[in-house]
Structure 1
Amino acid sequence: MSKLFAILLTSLILVQSLHIDYDDIVQFDELIEHAQFHKAEYGDNFFVFISKHYGELKADHNQKHQEEEQEHKQLPFQCSDHMLLITAFVMQDLFSELEVIEIMEINTANFHYHSSFSSLHKKGLLQPPKHA
């Protein structure tokens, strides 16, 4: 059971690292259907089809075939909403801005000790009787 869980978790991390969403998986049949259309209509093999829709021939194909624009929007892996985070920071010398603090040493004691422990034995309250 733990091996199955590890395999599923690893595959989930792999799929998410490739930025594949559930929508892309659902639209995969549209990709196959459109590839078959290109094979029947234009005689393209699968690699030429991928190049026309995702590679270097994409701009040329989009200009020549405007009538297929709605079908192209239904293909998977069309979104390019990857998140890019740029963190900029400036290193400054903090010690040049800090002032030197003078520590004054005071020799007088600023506390006194008061015993918080009291013994009832000294008061004679819990002493055994002295006269028998």
Structure 2
Amino acid sequence: MSKLLSISLTLSILFQSIGFCPNDMVKIDEFIEHAQFHSEQYGDNMLVFIAKHYGELKATHEKEHQEEKKDHEQLPFQHQSHLSVVVDFILHTNKEEFKTLDFFECKTHNFHYQAPSSSVHSEGILQPPRHS
């Protein structure tokens, strides 16, 4: 489920970043008809047609052919806005319950000291050196 969600969000962001909307798919037939019109009327190939309507020749084509303005508005990819939607999910599985801490006193002793009782210590072998 999470893979499907992440793939769909990724595709949505990709399509929006290149300016593709679902309405553009509906207008593809107008694009093809207008491209055929340009091919018959002006002898334009597909690259020239795209340059005249979406590229560097767009401004001059719009000035010279005002009679085609209504047809140009029906072409896909004419919207100038850009919209991105980023959805962020944060899932917490932690329970937010606070428990009080119980303090207790430890009354047992965890250490034991025994006086040295080895024979080496009692015989006095471990003495500091003396001057002779």
Structure 1 length-normalised TM? 0.54
One-letter code aligned to 2:54 = Y
Larger radius of gyration: 2
Which ranges of 4 or more aligned residues in structure 1 deviate by more than 4 Å?
2-10
Give yes or no for contact 2:16–2:83 (8 Å, CA) kept in 1.
no
Tell me the equivalent position of 1:45.
45
For structure 2, the 5+ residue unaligned runs are 85-132
Give yes or no for contact 2:31–2:75 (8 Å, CA) kept in 1.
yes
Q: 1:81 to 1:6 in 2, by over 3 A?
A: closer
Measure how far apart 1:19 and its partner are: 2.4
Matched, 1:57 2:57: yes
Tell me the equivalent position of 2:24.
24
One-letter code aligned to 1:57 = L
Structure 2 length-normalised TM? 0.54
Q: Greater RCO between the two (CA within 8 Å, min separation 6)? A: 2
RMSD: 2.2
Matched, 1:74 2:38: no
Separation of aligned partners in 2, 1:14 and 1:82: 12
SS in structure 2 of the partner of residue 30 of structure 1: helix
Matches within 5 A, 1:1-132: 10-82=10-82
One-letter code aligned to 1:63 = K
Measure how far apart 1:17 and its partner are: 2.7
One-letter code aligned to 2:81 = D
Measure how far apart 1:12 and its partner are: 3.9
Residue deviations 1:51-107, cap 9 Å, x none?
A: 0001111111111111100000000111102259xxxxxxxxxxxxxxxxxxxxxxx
Q: Count residues with an aligned counterpart.
A: 83
